[in-house]
Amino acid sequence: MYHIPALLNESIDGLAIKPDGTYIDVTFGGGGHSQAILNRLNKGQLIAFDRDEDALINAIKDERFTLIHANYKHIISYMKFFNLFPVDGILADLGVSSHQFDTNTRGFSARFPARLDARMSKTTEQTAWSVINYYEEGNLMKIFKEYGELSDARRLAARIVIERNKKTIDTTTELFEIIRTLAEWGKENKYIAQVMQALRIEVNNEINDLADLLNHVPLILKPNGRLVVISYHSLEDRLVKNIMKTGNLEGAISKDFYGNVNNSFNVLSRKPVVPTENELKLNGRARSAKLRIAEKI
């Protein structure tokens, strides 16, 4: 299967779909969430986005459905072009698809020897290879600390620079052999996963793109429209939580003259929804998934 959608029922229920409503799935992938939305629509419409060329093969043949091959950061431009906003709901299932992880040539996973890549779109110029081999040591340290949440980011960056000065680091296998000895014993796989997370986020500009999307959501949603987001690591979840709770990405609470919090959203999920044990038995990759739901005021 191309991708098993996480928290499928919970996220679709969270959208509170109106049969004649208009919805956006900004992370189409294998189409699981999109198909579930279409199943609840009558005369409504669904617009989906995906930057990955491989996802286009999953396009759903349905006159109510449109798949846009583009980064969701361009959502405003496309919705104006199609004259389809404001909309009733937006769904985002963030992170990497199973297909991207499992395709050995994509360079997302430590399980396969592959050229360092990690691009969500094959048209992107920057790759994990260029980051590892050309970023200055200080920039490497920054992304490993911020995006990989690694406490030894300085030491890791220094080791990479030493080794690439001997020869270029071309493959996932070469990188992992270099950094494996830096990991705490017994936690090598987790350490490597954090390094790959940092590289992937940097290559695909994920945090900045997510910030752009979240800032645009109040402009796109109708009053009482729903925002449903599934995140997989704390960097994503923090932005989602902040925008829903305070109306801004920094999480800074501002109040009007009467003491009311200035916010475009009413949070419907006081705590994030997480997968059940039964779901995790079927889809272990959903383990870190967190679902948050908010309604535009």
pLDDT tens-place string over residues 217-276: 999 999 999 999 999 999 999 999 999 999 999 999 988 888 887 899 999 998 999 999
What is the structure's pLDDT at 127?
Answer: 97
pTM for this entry: 0.94
Kindly tell me if the per-residue pLDDT of 135 is higher than 60: yes
Kindly tell me if the per-residue pLDDT of 112 is higher than 90: no
- Give the Cα separation of 78 and 171 in Å (integer): 37
Mean pLDDT of 160-186: 95
Percent of the chain at pLDDT > 90 equals: 82
3-state secondary structure the chain: CCCCCCCHHHHHHHHCCCCCCEEEECCCCCCHHHHHHHHCCCCCEEEEECCCHHHHHHCCCCCCEEEECCCHHHHHHHHHHCCCCCEEEEEEECCCCHHHHHCHHHCCCCCCCCECCCCCCCCCCCCHHHHHHHCCHHHHHHHHHHCCCCCCHHHHHHHHHHHHCCCCCCEHHHHHHHHHHHCCCCCHHHHHHHHHHHHHHHHHCHHHHHHHHHHHHHHHEEEEEEEEEEECCHHHHHHHHHHHHHCCCCCCCCECCCCCECCCEEECCCCCECCCHHHHHHCHHHCCCEEEEEEEC
What is the structure's pLDDT at 262?
Answer: 84
Percent of the chain at pLDDT > 70 equals: 98
What is the structure's pLDDT at 148?
Answer: 96
What is the structure's pLDDT at 183?
Answer: 93
What is the structure's pLDDT at 74?
Answer: 95
- Among 184-188, 201-205, 255-259, 281-285, the range with the most confident prediction by mean pLDDT is 201-205
Kindly tell me if the per-residue pLDDT of 131 is higher than 80: yes
105: confidence class by pLDDT, cuts 50, 70, 90? confident
102: confidence class by pLDDT, cuts 50, 70, 90? low
Encoding tokens for residue 216? 């645009």
Note the pLDDT tens digit of each residue in 9-55: 999 999 999 999 999 999 999 999 999 999 999 999 999 999 999 99
Average pLDDT, the chain: 93
Mean pLDDT of 96-106: 74
Mean pLDDT of 141-159: 97
Domains of the chain, CATH where assigned: 8-98+206-296 (3.40.50.150), 123-204 (1.10.150.170)
75: confidence class by pLDDT, cuts 50, 70, 90? very high
Kindly tell me if the per-residue pLDDT of 3 is higher than 80: no
